[in-house]
Amino acid sequence: MTDKEVKREVKNKTEEKSEEIKPADVKKKTVAKAGKRSEKSLKESKEKTEKVEKQKLADKPQETAKTHKSRHETTKARFERRGKKYREVSKTVDKSKLYSLDEALSLATKTSTTKFDSTVEVHVRLNVDPKQADQNIRDSVILPSGTGKNIRVAVYSDDQNIAKAKQAGADIAESEDFLARLDKEKIDFDVLIATPNVMQKLAKYARLLGPKGLMPNPKSGTVTADVEKAVKQSKAGKVEYRVDSYGIVHSAIGKTSFGLDKLKPNAEAILNSIKQNKPGSLKGAYVSSINITTTMGPSIKVQTSEI
């Protein structure tokens, strides 16, 4: 018998032996008599898995119902989520009507829902692009009737102007000590006035003062050599407004306790200032809408012809 024939015979015998081994025999070999691989243990594990799956299927419909309920609750109208007082006073405002300035101011004082003396605000939407330099509307106005708030004025200047600032009514008037106050991030003032010669030292605090709108600026009149005049104007009710990224000007014009006689001159001062700052390059309508509102009160539409 040759070597090839011997190898072929050995191979055939090996294949015959493998065919004789049945799947049942393999299964019996993999199952242990005791322990985790025993028949009893495997059966218990299978039953436990089936029980957990059944429990998951039973809980699934309840979770779905809860999800649908929460979605339904969040779809309420915005007006329905308002307070009871707000909903009641809103009925007196006709949303489809454009009121005159006198009517809007009178109605605003009557629809205030707060127990405290609410602030009356005017919001003017302009058809401008704030990204354009000449359309970035910004100005400061002295309100004839004041703001109704006690404005805390701080002055940072050299020693020569400190005494003048205090005589004019400044709450804080300091030179180098003022920088130590800023180092501690102590902001206890509403308006900051500075003279041109010290502005370089304030540059390092731009990140602290800028976001709060307190960084002195020549356009708003808070960078000036005439410190005494700037302090008196701020105390008298000087407000600064600037169009936001949506092309809207927001400004407070007083308190509800002012009444129409004091609110109207303040509103006219703001509206006239906005009118005078109309960009020469703008084509088409300048004012899109005007609204008067109070703190937590409903909005009242005003005729755009008021500007």
38's CB contacts (< 8 A; 6+ apart) are 31, 32
Q: What is the mean pLDDT of the chain?
A: 83
Does residue 66 have a pLDDT over 60? no
Is residue 109 within 8 A of residue 230, CB to CB? The reply is no
| pLDDT above 90 as % of the chain | 44
Residue whose tokens read 């309920």: 69
Candidate from 43-52, 94-103, 210-219 with smallest mean pLDDT: 43-52
- According to DSSP, the β-strands at 138-142 and 172-174 are unpaired
120's CB contacts (< 8 A; 6+ apart) are 105, 108, 109, 252, 253, 254, 255, 256, 258, 263, 292, 293, 294
Is residue 175 within 8 A of residue 162, CB to CB? The reply is yes
How many helices (H) and strands (E) are present in the chain, helices listed first?
11, 9
CA-only gyration radius of the chain, Å: 39
What confidence score (pLDDT) does residue 236 get?
86
User: What's 223's DSSP letter?
Assistant: B
What confidence score (pLDDT) does residue 114 get?
86
Model confidence over 147-198: pLDDT tens digits? 888 889 999 998 888 989 999 999 999 988 899 999 998 899 999 999 999 9
Structure tokens at 134: 């000449």
- The torsion of the CA quartet 233, 236, 237, 242, rounded to 10 degrees, works out to 0
Residue type, 164: K
Confidence of residue 71 (pLDDT cuts 50, 70, 90): low
Task: Specify the CATH architecture of the domain 150-236.
Answer: 3-Layer(aba) Sandwich (3.40)
CA-closest candidate to residue 128, choices 13, 286, 17: 286
Question: Mean pLDDT across the stretch 190-215?
Answer: 91
Candidate from 58-62, 124-128, 241-245 with smallest mean pLDDT: 58-62
0.85 exceeded by the pTM? no
Residue whose tokens read 């309840």: 62
CA-closest candidate to residue 198, choices 157, 155, 154, 153: 157
Does residue 268 have a pLDDT over 90? yes
Give Cα separations from 189 to 170, 183, 184, 192 (angstroms). 10, 15, 14, 7
CATH 3.30.930.10 fits 95-148+237-307, yes or no: no
Model confidence over 1-52: pLDDT tens digits? 566 666 667 666 665 555 554 544 444 445 666 666 777 777 888 888 888 7
Residue whose tokens read 């004041």: 146
